[in-house]
Structure 1
Amino acid sequence: MPYEPPTHTVERSIRARTGARIVAGVDEVGRGAWAGPVTVCAAITGLRRAPAGLTDSKLLTPKRRDEIAAELEQWVTAHALGHASPEEIDELGMTAALRLAACRALEGLPIRPDAVILDGKHDYLGAPWTVRTVIKGDQSCIAVAAASVIAKVRRDAIMAELPGEYADFAFADNAGYPSPVHKAALEQRGPTPYHRLSWAYLDGLPQWRHLKKTRVPVSAGAAALESGGQLGFDF
């Protein structure tokens, strides 16, 4: 299906309205997975012409996504990745885990952005960042599309490289998202150390339901947000 290529329209608007010089595009991947981290990429592209074919990672074939990601990592002015582990997701909840991963990505950039374009309608970053949310920003904004592709390829690689003893979960194919093979392996073996144990999928697995974790209140997780510590997932 034909689609409009992303542009710098939103970034130009932010620059004109706020005087921002450095604008980063931010996107996440892994929010709906049962296993693995949630991964956020922050990308700074400037106002240069984007590589041909750049769009939301979900609109690209795996082969084309890998090709564009390799090109993007050389083309972008700067990019950085941040992750929140399954343990952090269980302890903090997804919104706070997303913020933690996004802050890690933004703070990993060699230069601090003056403003951030965040994909979606919900600002999970907040102060002190100057944020503009854009629904389907990964399709319409060049910097966000770049972040989308890099985040997807990098997280897929993390999941594909998990130990071979978990090969029957087919993480290399499903990246930790729900699939018939994934569910069958869960029913047979139960969750791995890479699964999110506070999630509702365990409610449908009576033999493993006792492993489900109760999420702590957000206030109790505030210290973890401040510390930025990783909880047991080796990236």
Structure 2
Amino acid sequence: MNCNQFLDNSFLPKLIEENALIAGVDEVGRGALFGSVVAAVIVLPASSLFKLSDIGVKDSKQLSAKKRQQLSQLIRAIATDWQIASASVAEIDRLNVFHASLLAMKRAVIELKVTPVLCLVDGKFPIPELPIEQKTLVQGDRNSVLIAAASILAKVWRDELIVNLASDYPEYDLINNKGYPTSKHRLALKQYGLSPLHRTSFRPCQLENKV
């Protein structure tokens, strides 16, 4: 991944010269049936983006769970700042998962202890009322090393959250599916119904809960 490809070539040298802080933000869990949606943001000086490429950061979906765990620790050590935030199941059901995802990303950025000059946002929709300049990037986790780093932090944090909840809801095989709609998960919904942390607004939960 070219860590510079997401920025206009005429813009990047100025950011590097000024050692400007840039943020990347991404979310995970939009397609899950169970649990919150989680967002992470990471901030680095423009002149230090190469450090993420050097340690092997790329789209979290292309990495093993073990590799994501390793990279998550390295990313946190490298970052000038990073934050993680979420939107609850209740918020997902009330707002819909798209708006809940934007809310989680906004919460993460607002929690930053430093102020970046630019926030790179995964997807094509900007974060509403974000108090800093932002740039959206479709498939950002593939094309921006900063967004990819954020996706790794979010994925590791959410997976750990779901695994910690798995003992409370053992029938849903959460350790293996992390809340996503596998066949075993769907079968459990038919057999046991919905838990308090299933997304009732999601059609699979509505269909599978009917007997």
Alignment TM class, shorter chain as reference: 0.7 to 0.9
Alignment of 1:52 onto 2:59: no
Q: Which residue number corresponds to residue 39 of structure 2? A: 40
CA distance in 2, matches of 1:195, 1:91: 13
Aligned pairs (5 A) from 1:183-202? 183-202=186-205
Q: Which residue number corresponds to residue 223 of structure 1? A: none
Alignment of 1:116 onto 2:112: no
Length, aligned pairs only: 204
Query: How far apart are 1:118 and its partner, in Å?
Result: 0.7
* Cα pair 1:89 1:196 within 8 Å, conserved: yes
Q: Which residue number corresponds to residue 165 of structure 2? A: 162
Residues 187 and 107 of structure 1: is their aligned pair in 2 closer, same or farther, counting only changes over 3 Å? same
Query: How far apart are 1:17 and its partner, in Å?
Result: 7.8
Query: How far apart are 1:175 and its partner, in Å?
Result: 1.1
Alignment of 1:178 onto 2:181: yes
CA distance in 2, matches of 1:152, 1:204: 27
CA distance in 1, matches of 2:7, 2:112: 18
* Cα pair 2:31 2:180 within 8 Å, conserved: yes
Aligned pairs (5 A) from 1:92-111? 92-111=95-114
Moved over 3 A (4+): 11-20, 124-129
Query: How far apart are 1:206 and its partner, in Å?
Result: 5.3
Q: Which amino acid aligns with 2:38?
A: T
SS in 2 for 1:207: coil
- Coordinate RMSD, CA, aligned: 2.2
Identity %: 31
* Cα pair 1:38 1:101 within 8 Å, conserved: yes
TM-score after normalising by structure 1 = 0.79
Residues 163 and 175 of structure 1: is their aligned pair in 2 closer, same or farther, counting only changes over 3 Å? closer
* Cα pair 1:6 1:145 within 8 Å, conserved: no
CA distance in 2, matches of 1:182, 1:176: 8
CA distance in 2, matches of 1:64, 1:127: 32
CA distance in 2, matches of 1:121, 1:196: 24
SS in 2 for 1:45: strand
Q: Which amino acid aligns with 1:133?
A: T
1:30-53: CA deviations, max 9, x gaps? 011111111111111223122422
Q: Which residue number corresponds to residue 27 of structure 2? A: 28
